[in-house]
Amino acid sequence: MRKNIVAGNWKMNKNVIEAQQLMFQLLDYKKHNATHCEVWIAPPSLYLMMAKDVFAHNEIGVFAQDISEHESGAYTGEISADMLASIHAAGAIIGHSERRLYHGETDALCNVKVKLALDKGLTPIYCNGETLEQRKAGQHLEVVKNQTEEALFTLTADEIKKVVIAYEPVWAIGTGETASPEQAQEIHAHIRNLIAGKYGQDVADEISILYGGSVKPDNAKEIFSQPDIDGGLIGGAALKVDDFAKIIEGFNA
């Protein structure tokens, strides 16, 4: 079912003491404030078990930042979907632009990972988005179309309804640049229309599509007010509880 979501991707940040402090600050915030969205975090994998302990009553969803494309085996350093399911993690980010850039991940690989996640009852947060060069060349709609179709369109209608999509213009991640609300809405509507064309409008209307490009406390409300934007996948601003809280409050009435 389509829902409003604010998810924090911590990336490779925070030592164990800092991570624990941030988790307890988020727990305290969640317990004392009404929120109009689901709140998720994706800490480094080293801290997943700690996060599950802190959020023992599922106040905040705990996600991995990636999963292996292999079910099990001699893959040193990898974490499988089954491992995540065994600790009752909520899901995993798949296809983040940094994984694509630094590790050569492709849409076909993302398709494998999405299927493995779904098979284990995990929620995939599938990321897509264009580079600055592709945006300047007017290729952004085609790039996002190809990424969406190649990674997701082998799924059944019931399966794709369980996927959360995060549109992240690569040129707006960690650069301080942000797509305008209108630019973000254009791509979000484009993604939803692609899904509607394949699976029907009812299915498309059930899928949450998040924006993942430098959402900040001062622009969250305007971004989240767009009709096809259902929340954000937050990077740097998720590392400070005050900033993250203000973004969450972008959904407050």
pLDDT in tens, 10-61: 999 999 999 999 999 999 999 999 999 999 999 999 999 999 999 999 999 9
Average pLDDT, the chain: 95
pLDDT for 213: 82
Q: Which band of pLDDT confidence, cut at 50, 70 and 90, is reported for residue 253?
A: low
pLDDT for 171: 83
pLDDT for 174: 67
Q: Which band of pLDDT confidence, cut at 50, 70 and 90, is reported for residue 160?
A: very high
The predicted model scores a pTM of 0.96
Please tell me the distance from the alpha carbon of residue 211 to that of residue 233, in angstroms, as a whole number.
6
What are the tens digits of pLDDT across the range 175-230?
Answer: 667 688 999 999 999 999 999 999 999 999 999 999 998 889 999 999 999 999 99
Q: What CA dihedral angle connects 194, 195, 198 and 204, to 10 degrees?
A: -140
Catalytic residue positions, numbered: 96, 168
Binding positions for substrate: 9-11, 174, 214, 235-236
73: left (phi over 0), alpha (psi -120 to 50) or beta: left
CB-CB contact of 130 with 139 (8 Å): yes
Helices then strands, counting H and E runs in the chain, come out as 12, 8
Residue 98 has pLDDT above 90, yes or no: yes
Fill in the DSSP letter of residue 46. Answer: G
pLDDT for 132: 87
Q: Which band of pLDDT confidence, cut at 50, 70 and 90, is reported for residue 1?
A: confident
Domains observed in the chain = 5-251 (3.20.20.70)
